[in-house]
Amino acid sequence: MNIAILGAGAWGTALAIHFAPRHQVTLWSRNPEQISCMSHDRQNARYLSGHAFPPTLQLESDLDSACRNAELLIISVPTAAFRPMLQAIADKPQPMIWVCKGLEPDTGKRLDQVAEETLPSSVARGVLSGPSFAQEVAAGLPTALTLASSNTEFAKTAASQLHGGSLRIYTSEDVIGVEIGGALKNVMAIAAGISDGLGFGHNARAALITRAAAEMARLGVALGGHTETIMGLTGMGDLILTCTGELSRNRQVGLKLAQGKPLPEILEELGHVAEGVNTAREAIKLADQLGVDMPITQAVKHILFDGLPARQAVETLLSRSQKNEN
């Protein structure tokens, strides 16, 4: 299959490296200088250093050229760039999958909502999500993901074509649940990083992950998603990975917040997008609209944007009144 991957960050690059041995793959970046460097080095030194490109992987900075012969488009850009990316390819008839995780800045919309507003209804589309660090996928380590789409036949066909090697792909019709799980787990990873950074230990982290899953399920169900999805790969699976893995950008944000570093400095040091930062603010707006209780997300939002010290936020969570677990 001929695949165009639009977005040459760490995740887009990792997927390109994985798929190139079995498919015709073109990796696109809007930055010609980045394409030139990658063409010379045959790796993405900026975002995924140390992982060599397969000889067949093509690189392109012209969007029309990258998409021209593609049978499938895979969108791998930050959520803030998702709508402009779709607007740029709205005239293209190819089916597409996005691998971005988050809520659109300012609107708080899920990415499937953005796609519905931007793309013709005739374009088959879906979201690919799950517990996956780019470095491990690029290294060929075993990974399981879920491809969700309201178009069942498209999901089955695309999953069967992409499934293989070290990558196992399941299918789902619960687009909302998959989107919410992928977005909120980043917020919870910031919380886990804060907890670990303050030295609260493994017991606290386990409790936080469990209660975080409950928050994710409450919002997901309120929006029309399914609890089973939140408890699957794209919810609980991704939550566990990002809350415990050293490669998690959002967890790194939490660790640095626990040290008292200001957010702008943290993001500059990170050098990558940490989607949980924006998503925390947008998720609370959604929760308020729907009357959903999300104390962990609220605490993260206060730390990130309202100047609340991390330790004080944790003390506030611990002082909440006793209640039934469910």
| Whole-structure pTM value | 0.95
Of 127, 145, 173, which residue constitutes the final position of a domain? 173
For the question of residue 301 being annotated catalytic, the response is no
Of 173, 193, 221, which residue constitutes the final position of a domain? 173
Q: Say whether both 39 and 162 belong to one domain.
A: yes
CA-to-CA distance for 17 and 182, rounded, in angstroms? 22
Q: Say whether both 235 and 149 belong to one domain.
A: no
Report pLDDT digits (tens) over 158-214.
999 999 999 999 999 999 999 999 999 999 999 999 999 999 999 999 999 999 999
Single out the residue of 247, 248, 301 nearest to residue 108, CA to CA: 301
C-beta of residue 97 within 8 angstroms of C-beta of residue 128: yes
Report pLDDT digits (tens) over 239-275.
999 999 999 999 999 999 999 999 999 999 988 788 9
Pairing of strands 58-60, 72-75: unpaired
Largest CA distance in the chain: 60
Q: Say whether both 150 and 291 belong to one domain.
A: no
Of 123, 143, 173, which residue constitutes the final position of a domain? 173
Report pLDDT digits (tens) over 265-316.
999 998 878 899 999 999 999 999 999 999 999 999 999 999 999 889 888 8
Q: Say whether both 75 and 121 belong to one domain.
A: yes
Q: Say whether both 161 and 208 belong to one domain.
A: no
User: Side by side, which strands form the sheet with 58-60?
Assistant: 58-60, 24-28, 2-6, 72-75, 96-98, 125-129, 143-148, 167-172
Q: Say whether both 167 and 19 belong to one domain.
A: yes
Domain count, the chain: 2
Q: Which listed residue (92, 109, 185, 301) is catalytic? A: 185
CB atoms closer than 10 angstroms to residue 141: 12
Q: Say whether both 139 and 240 belong to one domain.
A: no
Tell me which residue range forms the domain holding 267.
Answer: 181-318
**Which residues lie closer than 8 Å to 57 by C-beta, 6 or more apart?**
16, 17, 20, 25, 26, 27
Q: Say whether both 169 and 188 belong to one domain.
A: no
Q: Read off the DSSP letter of residue 80.
A: G
